[in-house]
Amino acid sequence: MQIFDTTLRDGAQREGITYSVADKLAVARLLDQFGVGFIEGGWPGAVPKDTEFFERARTELELQNALLVAFGSTRKAGVAAADDAQLAGLLAAQTPVVCLVAKSDVRHVERALRTTREENLAMVADSVNHLRAHGRRVFVDCEHFFDGFRFDPEYTASVVRTALDAGAERVVLCDTNGGMLPSQVSKAIAELVERLGVSPESFGMHAQNDTACAVANTIAAVEAGVRHVQGTANGYGERPGNADIFAVVANLQLKLGMTVLPDGCLEQMAHVSHAIAEIANIAPDSHQAYVGSAAFAHKAGLHASAIKVDPALYNHVDPAVVGNDMTILVTEMAGRASIELKSRELGLDLAGLPDTLSKVTHRVKELEAAGWSFEAADASFELLVRQSLGEQTTPFTLESYRVIVEHREDGAVVSEATVKLRVRGERVIATAEGNGPVNALDQALRQALERHFPQLTGLELADYKVRILAGSHGTDAVTRVLVETVDTDGRDWTTVGVHENVVEASWRALVDALAYGVAAAGGDRKVRSRR
């Protein structure tokens, strides 16, 4: 099976993606690490950055698994292959493999290329011959294959036949407009095989995702006998995108039992997916199949109760085989099993403590009904469990706090906070200014605590999210605040606070953040980074 990645060519056609050459080199390294066989790097001669990419790749890329592929179109109508500037650009890229896009729908030949059926066939044959004569392996992408085959099967099949006869190693059947369904893909491939009398292994599949069936269409093509699949990291691509290469590869390997990657590569999948998202500057999709941080996240209490017996009962594969993790979400939908599993994930063993489990489950449901949300705030949940176990989790008691926001005559807005606490038997008063009321409170609280807990100096408030939750049943709206904190070791944790008053909601989230930080720095807590 040939795994052909086009993240750097078709994937770069997604709205919002602009790679630098350095980005492209970095993505190529990641794809190679993931173990794909072919990396289509772009269109040299057409896109200046792609030309530079292939130049630099010659000295800067040392690929272990993949071969680089240059992409371009067949020669222009009426121009000899040897004189075609575009084909010359493909040869100049010096890649071992070239992928040519050819028109295979007669309507495109006549209306977009504005040439004859015969000339298009000659363009395909001449271009493949020319590249073969220069020692290149050639794949031919038959653009609009499926639409063309439906409209005029004889002509579209003749384009495929011409490419194969000229020496194309694979002819890739493209669902360019992405409008196909799996059954239509299977049927078209069976008909093509019968019409041409060739093995389906001569073909490849390239699916756009306009019907949200790109992965399914690719798998259908493989089940019809195709042995070359194209896709992109995270499904990036023109319009809704392409077949997600990660889902395609995982399905082939884990569902169809085909070994398509070198040993040890599948486990790289989640990491490679997220690293490429980072370079593309697109937030990873937490719900992406196989690799999303929520791909194996279980919220329903009934799921958790079965998972407690055996995780395989509710996971279609072991998350570790694709480099992912299972996680249990604690929400209003939790049952005692969810609480037990989540606590275990956080390093707390509640097995054998049925009363504590019931108490925490009840408290979580009560708080969630009041607007709290623990699913993104593991640290607050952990503090809640520890309190239920009788631990003193907040390292101070509050006497009072006060926050002032002052709008001055010159337009400056200054916030000031004062906190009065009891810390280890001592009364502490601290005042601080900040660029907003929450920042001022955070500063004052740290100032008050830092002498007793020097580890707090390394903590930073990394993110602060506020959500107003509409009141229901005649109650007032409440505010939910999520605070993300990081320490100098790069660990991060999220805490939650809820109240009608945004400052009080923030205070609660801040207190949990610092309480957790005091203990985390002591090393006795498992601090989890959430992707």
Ligand X SMILES: CC(=O)SCCNC(=O)CCNC(=O)[C@H](O)C(C)(C)COP(=O)(O)OP(=O)(O)OC[C@H]1O[C@@H](n2cnc3c(N)ncnc32)[C@H](O)[C@@H]1OP(=O)(O)O
User: Which residue has 């015969």 as its token pair?
Assistant: 118
The two three-digit tokens of residue 19, written as one number = 């790679």
Find the shortest distance in angstroms from Cβ 71 to ligand CC(=O)C(=O)O.
8
Pick from 156, 158, 176, 494 the residue near ligand X by CB under 6 A. Answer: 176
Q: Does 40 bind ligand CC(=O)C(=O)O (CB under 6 A)?
A: no
Mutual orientation of helices 502-521 and 437-450 as an angle, nearest 10°?
30
Give the 3-state secondary structure of residue 485.
strand
Pick the closest to residue 415 from 432, 430, 431, 436 (CA basis): 436
Pick from 14, 103, 308, 480 the residue near ligand X by CB under 6 A. Answer: 103
Pick from 29, 130, 136, 206 the residue near ligand CC(=O)C(=O)O by CB under 6 A. Answer: 206
Q: What is the DSSP letter of 435?
A: S
> Is the CB of residue 478 less than 8 Å from the CB of residue 370?
yes
Exposed / middle / buried, residue 45 (Cβ in 10 Å: 0-12, 13-18, 19+)? buried
Exposed / middle / buried, residue 317 (Cβ in 10 Å: 0-12, 13-18, 19+)? middle
Q: Does 73 bind ligand X (CB under 6 A)?
A: yes
Return d(Cα 384, Cα 498) in angstroms, integer: 14
CA distances from 190 to 124, 179, 205, 320 (A): 23, 18, 13, 37
Subset of 5-24 contacting ligand X (CB under 6 A): 10
Interface pattern 7-36 for ligand CC(=O)C(=O)O (x via CB under 6 A): ---x--------------------------
Mutual orientation of helices 153-166 and 182-196 as an angle, nearest 10°?
60
Task: Candidates 33-41, 99-107, 156-164, 457-465: pick the segment binding ligand X (CB under 6 A).
Answer: 99-107
Interface pattern 122-141 for ligand CC(=O)C(=O)O (x via CB under 6 A): -------------------x
Pick from 19, 38, 43, 296 the residue near ligand X by CB under 6 A. Answer: 43
Task: Candidates 70-78, 211-219, 361-369, 436-444: pick the segment binding ligand X (CB under 6 A).
Answer: 70-78
Q: Judged by CB, which is closer to ligand CC(=O)C(=O)O: 143, or 244? A: 143
Return d(Cα 333, Cα 364) in angstroms, integer: 9
For the chain, how many residues are written?
A: 531
Q: Does 57 bind ligand X (CB under 6 A)?
A: no
Q: Judged by CB, which is closer to ligand CC(=O)C(=O)O: 206, or 446? A: 206
> Is the CB of residue 493 less than 8 Å from the CB of residue 516?
yes
Q: Does 480 bind ligand X (CB under 6 A)?
A: no
Subset of 105-124 contacting ligand X (CB under 6 A): 113, 123
Give the 3-state secondary structure of residue 109.
helix
Interface pattern 233-272 for ligand X (x via CB under 6 A): -----x----------------------------------
CA distances from 452 to 55, 271, 302, 455 (A): 59, 39, 44, 9
Q: Does 73 bind ligand CC(=O)C(=O)O (CB under 6 A)?
A: no
Which residues form the interface with ligand CC(=O)C(=O)O (CB under 6 A)?
A: 10, 101, 141, 143, 174, 176, 206, 208
Q: Which residues bind ligand X (CB under 6 A)?
A: 10, 43, 46-47, 73-74, 76, 101-103, 113, 123, 143, 176, 238
